[in-house]
Amino acid sequence: MSQNSRDRDASGRARNARPRDGLGRPLPHGVEGVPRIPDDLVLPPTPALVEAQRLLDHGMPFHAHEILEGTWKSAAAEERDLWQGLAQLAVGLTHVLRGNAAGARTLLLRARARILGYAEAPPYDIDVDGLVDWTDQLLAGLAAGEGGVGTDIEPPRLRRPAAGG
């Protein structure tokens, strides 16, 4: 494949078929990467939260973002900002882990603003307060010069703990 040609799907849409690492960075063709999230995957809200949390817990926030993005793009209008904010939160964490503090700050601030709009009545047991606190702590760490490649960051908890748990 030439340097100027792009991978395309059957309908002619541009697709990047290169394998990716755990943080979503493209790897050279022929190198084994982590399993990809299908571009057209759309999960209902609760399964999307469960799968995104699993990916976050395994250090794969880029892939969690892809799960959340599918749900965001198919969400009802009144929930779209929430799902976009959750996807941005995952991308913000991706940028932190890739060492891109400026990109992380931008996305985390956008995510925080979108998610905070659902604090009064969060659907699907989403832990809006916990996510905002987690984001604030991560932003404070970035402001203090902490955060970057190799930083041990506890992943966010997308949902409130079950009662009694």
Within 10 Å of residue 157's Cβ, how many Cβ atoms? 15
Q: Report residue 44 as tokens.
A: 């209902």
Reported as a pLDDT band with limits 50, 70 and 90, residue 3 is: very low
CB atoms within 10 A of CB 37: 20
Q: Where are the domains of the chain?
A: 45-143
Q: How far apart are CA 101 and CA 95, in angstroms?
A: 7
Q: Quick one: which of 66, 115, 111 has its CA closest to 92?
A: 111
User: Quick one: which of 155, 158, 142 has its CA closest to 23?
Assistant: 155
Query: How far, CA to CA in Å, does 73 sit from each of 23, 70, 80, 92, 136?
Result: 22, 5, 7, 18, 26
- Terminal CA-CA length for the chain: 53
89-124 burial string, b = 16+ CB within 10 Å, else e?
Answer: bbbbbbbbbbebbeebbebbebbbebbbebeeebee
Confidence of residue 148 (pLDDT cuts 50, 70, 90): very low
From 3.40.50.970, 3.90.1310.10, 1.10.3450.10, 3.30.56.10, which CATH number describes the 45-143 domain? Answer: 1.10.3450.10
Contact 47, 57 (CB under 8 A): no
Chain centroid to CA 146: how far?
Answer: 20
Provide the pLDDT for residue 1.
43
Instruction: Please state, for a pLDDT cut of 90, what percent of the chain lies above it.
Output: 62
List, for residues 71-87, the tens digit of each pLDDT value: 999 999 999 999 999 99
Are 130 and 157 contacting, i.e. CB atoms less than 8 angstroms apart? yes
Residue 38 pLDDT > 80: no
